[in-house]
Amino acid sequence: MTDKPVSTAPEHTANESHQTQAAEQFAALDLGSNSFHLITARVVDGALQPLLKLKQPVQLGAGMDDKQSLSQQAMQRGFEALHICAQRLQGFAPEQVRVVATHTLRKASNGREFLQRAATILPYPIEVISGHEEARLIYQGVAQTVAGQATRMVIDIGGGSTELIVGDGSQARFVASRSMGCVSFTEQFFANGKISKKRFHKAVVAAQREVEPLLSQLNRYDWTTVIGTSGTIKTIAAVVKDCGWSEGGITHASLLELQQWLLTQGHADALTHKAIAPERQSVMAAGCAILLAIFNELELDYLSEHDAALREGVLYELAAQQLQGDDVRQRTIDAIAKRYQVDENQAARVAISADKLFHGCQHAWALERPIWYALLSWAARLHEVGLHINSSGKHKHSAYILAHADLPGFNREQQDILAAIVRLQRKKLQPSALPKTRLYPLRQVQRLVAIIRLAVLVNQDRQSDPVIAKVHAEQDNLTLQLTPDRQQDMVLQADLLNERQQLAKLNIELLWA
């Protein structure tokens, strides 16, 4: 930040200025299959200025066995890296940091064990994101650092998965995540380090099979540039340039030259080129095979490497959300509401009732975190999205859509909670339908269910007249003061009696007067 002039204001403004300065710093941590990447940045004149980039090679994916279980050694490597990251993040408030985990922690059968231990090291929630969300965020990292609105293809080869994205400007139009990465393919095809023509061919064919199902969709787009991100692609670009096979970037011909060089070397231990870091030698052949397969299938001629990737996408989106109130999740909700032609009047009625209920019990029910109000608002907006399918069982249809749709900006647990709240908005309440989540306490989720059920119940007649005058809550009960004209409504009274029985399943006592 620039120096500020001496002020004659009270002394406390200096502290406030320091706090404001600290609040304008953000951090993103990517827990990848091959490496953990940390980036911090500050806001200068409305733009992000990177302060720190830290890479911790952990090869977490290399420690996963045939049963998809992480070894204790691999987890320990991850914990040691997290300790270092935690030290670098000291002083950052929770809202200034976002931590995301990708392919290996999506797939690991004991991933929850790792995440529970990680939570004792890192004082920030760790979000396990879907492959599609990973791809979208990778594209955002590129889009924020590459000028122009031209249609572009972005390719990111990670340790456990490869993401392919097509977009223009800041909008990703097509995203895909395939289960092929430099670590997983190394384990599958080059486990003992040996690089042979037969093994390389098998790896290329396997990668082409992963890409082939995407061709019909990808062929709809006419991209003008191809951009590659991740350490694998940057290393390949550095090698082919240093060897004189390319003047810059990666060409199909240079990949074939690299393939031949790898085969000549014959073993990962022999890949002692100055552009190949020691920890990347073992995964070099797999990375080359995957990229060559993509070039073959998509008939690419040239790719330019780029530094920005997932962590930058996470960082830019976090900063935009905190500083500008630009939440991609809200845009996702708006898009779904439009796509499924939601009855906006009814959604607004339910949202108004939910808002009144929420603020009447927010403190007593420990719902202060912004995510609780956001989830409730989104559930109210989309609680009837399933009407697009059928009015019968609309709550089930709505939940199905939300559980299985691609929801940009949402992590898996947020999506599961949103779908569950909508699923339990009416009819018989089944507490077992609530998801088991790590980041969000079950009791608060149960309370959101109670609120949405009551908001839907009091708006069944689809009229705009208010029903609830006041709300009072204590830890395990909720008292409604009905408007005078509804206190003698026998249908409403019967509905509330039934709802009292349903909410009792959540250990919530419903009272009204």
**Domain harbouring 189, CATH code:** 3.30.420.150
- Domain finish residue from 79, 101, 129: 129
176 and 292 share a domain?
Answer: yes
pLDDT value at 17 more than 60: no
**Cα separation of 146 and 154, whole Å?**
11
382 part of a folded domain:
yes
Which pLDDT does position 46 carry in this prediction?
74
168 and 104 share a domain?
Answer: no
Q: Residue 408 corresponds to which tokens in the numbers above?
A: 């940009």
163 and 282 share a domain?
Answer: yes
370 and 445 share a domain?
Answer: yes
50 and 158 share a domain?
Answer: no
Instruction: At 35, give phi and psi (nearest 5°).
Output: -140, 155
212 part of a folded domain:
yes
Kindly report the CATH number assigned to the domain that includes residue 55. Answer: 3.30.420.40
248 and 354 share a domain?
Answer: no
Phi-psi region of 428 (alpha: psi -120 to 50; beta: other; left: phi over 0): beta
Instruction: At 10, give phi and psi (nearest 5°).
Output: -55, 160
pLDDT tier at 175 (50, 70, 90 boundaries)? very high
342 part of a folded domain:
yes
pLDDT value at 12 more than 70: no
Q: What totals of helices (H) and strands (E) does the chain contain, helices first?
A: 19, 14
- Taking only the tens place, the pLDDT of each residue in 94-114 is 989 999 999 999 999 999 999
| 100: nearest Cα among 309, 369, 314, 308 | 314
**Cα separation of 37 and 56, whole Å?**
6
166 and 277 share a domain?
Answer: yes
| 284: nearest Cα among 241, 237, 251 | 237
Number of domains in the chain: 3
55 and 101 share a domain?
Answer: yes
502 part of a folded domain:
no
| 164: nearest Cα among 196, 197, 138 | 138
* For the chain, percent of residues with pLDDT exceeding 70: 96
What's the whole-model pTM score? 0.82
286 and 151 share a domain?
Answer: yes
Q: Kindly state the average pLDDT of the residues 54-63.
A: 90
- Domain finish residue from 129, 160, 175: 129
- Domain finish residue from 81, 103, 129: 129
pLDDT value at 15 more than 50: no
* For the chain, percent of residues with pLDDT exceeding 90: 80
Cβ contact 82:121 at 8 Å: yes
Q: Is 10 helix (H, G, I), strand (E, B) or coil?
A: coil
494 part of a folded domain:
no
| 268: nearest Cα among 296, 291, 287, 245 | 287
Q: Would you say how long the chain is, in residues?
A: 513
Which structural domain, as residue segments, surrounds residue 422? Answer: 327-465
10 part of a folded domain:
no
Dihedral angle sign, alpha carbons of residues 125, 126, 128, 133: positive
- The mean predicted confidence, pLDDT, of the chain is 91
Q: Where are the alpha helices (DSSP H) in 168-306?
A: 182-189, 197-211, 215-218, 231-242, 252-265, 284-298
170 and 271 share a domain?
Answer: yes
- Taking only the tens place, the pLDDT of each residue in 295-325 is 999 999 999 999 889 999 999 999 988 777 7
Q: How far is CA 95 from CA 25, 44, 47, 98, 391, in A?
A: 10, 19, 18, 8, 40
| 376: nearest Cα among 462, 290, 447 | 447
Q: Provide, for the chain, the percentages of residues in helix, strand and coil under a 3-state DSSP scheme, each rounded to the nearest 5.
A: 50, 20, 30
124 and 153 share a domain?
Answer: no
227 and 97 share a domain?
Answer: no
β-pairing, 509-512 vs 477-482, is parallel
**Cα separation of 182 and 232, whole Å?**
8
Kindly report the CATH number assigned to the domain that includes residue 344. Answer: 1.10.3210.10
- Taking only the tens place, the pLDDT of each residue in 440-473 is 999 999 999 999 999 999 999 888 788 999 999 9
Which pLDDT does position 463 carry in this prediction?
85
